[in-house]
Amino acid sequence: MIHGKYFDYRFFVIKDDALNAFATPGGLIFVHTGLLEAIDSDNELACILAHECGHVQGRHIAKRMDKMKVVNIGTAVMAIASLFLGGGQSSSALLTSSMALGQSLSLKYSRADEEEADRRGYQWICRAGYDPMGLVTTLEKMNRNRFLGSDAIPGYLSTHPGASQRITYIEDLVKEHPCPERQKENPCRLKRIKVKVKLMTHDPARMCVYYRRELADRPDDLFMHYGLALSLLGMRQYEQSFKEFERVMALAPDRNVFKIDLGRAYLEAGRYRQALPLLQDYCRLYPRNHAARYYLGRALLDNGMVQEALATFRAIEPVWPDYMNLYLEMGRAYSRAKNKGMAHYYLYMYYKRLGDMQSAGYHRLMALENLPHDSRYYRMLREPEGKGEAGHDVNGKSRKGGSKWVSFCQRARSSG
């Protein structure tokens, strides 16, 4: 548990080869694919996230923005927004066009900030049962790969100074305040994440070639077969994908871990009856996995179990509000339940998040026409200031005078 000021944390992955991670005000934390590919343990990933949460809790960037008296909030937003582009010409152009190049220099963390974030992160890492030396090994990798001078992140946007000094400081902290490691390493979990991230950021046909080549030398490598199964699924070669999943299940020490992946594959292939028992079993084992419950809801809906699907979707809606496809599926479910008002309401929510304001406007009008006037959903749609989403009216447009930073964060969250 993270003590201190409460933030609604959101975690994102950026397709970029740099060994980097950073946080922005409000609890948005970003990890680059280059860093995910470089880490080797759960401890390293936990330490990275704890350190970035430490920056958020310390309000390090927010405090620097407050001190930038000579620049308005819009310019500060543009300076931080350049980080999202991962460097290169587009990022530099954004900084130059916003007149924020000089200001971005003052946004980088100081060594005092780094020490405070490390101290905060150290406490959380120990309480969670991870090994804080994971941060040391990660920093060593960053140094070896010249993290501070990466081509993907320009030198003037290096946000984590003093890596060598931090390594010494953390090693001393471990000696002075040792904490027992309780969590057992789970290399399978991290490897699954790394394979899935690679498939999300590379062409599946090229990855298919890569995994086949690797399997020629390593025919019993579980995660090469797993990567090939996902690559074939991305190419919609379903039968071949299922055969690879059979090999994965045969090689896996714990077959249950891969049931969600095979269930998703069956869903994509339209084999809803085969998907349902797999996803039901997985959700019984991992009831807090929101993604698994979402796919279970889809399987229930496509098997004609409408009320069960609605109950599943409604259960995860409060804890997974940023996943816009959930609204699409809820719209489908209410439509099958013959509830036009709620179907149009959730389709309105989906298209608004998608940015299709014409379709969103149509479904809003249809929802208002079909919802009971005493319904809270009707009142939310009629609310002139759209309280459901700060800084926007019910049509999704930014309100005059609203915080540009709030709007910027909301767009970033919606894209996740």
The predicted model scores a pTM of: 0.75
Mean pLDDT of the chain: 80
Give the burial class of 184: count Cβ atoms within 10 A of its Cβ; 0-12 exposed, 13-18 middle, 19 or more buried.
exposed
Label the pairing between strands 10-14 and 28-32: parallel
Mean pLDDT of 150-173: 61
Tokens read off for 93: 């152009």
% of the chain at pLDDT higher than 70:
75
Mean pLDDT of 291-304: 97
- Is a pLDDT exceeding 70 seen at residue 175? yes
- What's the CA angle centered on 321, arms 316 and 325, to 5 degrees? 85
Asked whether 145 and 38 are in contact (CB, 8 A), the reply is: yes
% of the chain at pLDDT higher than 90:
44
Per-residue model confidence (pLDDT) at position 78: 57
Per-residue model confidence (pLDDT) at position 406: 40
Asked whether 49 and 67 are in contact (CB, 8 A), the reply is: no
pLDDT band at 115 (very low <50, low <70, confident <90, very high): confident
The predicted-structure confidence for 218-255, as pLDDT tens digits, reads as follows 999 999 999 999 999 999 999 999 999 999 999 998 88
Mean pLDDT of 360-385: 91
Domains and CATH numbers, the chain: 10-176 (no CATH), 186-253 (1.25.40), 255-320 (1.25.40.10), 331-416 (no CATH)
More confident residue, 381 or 393: 381
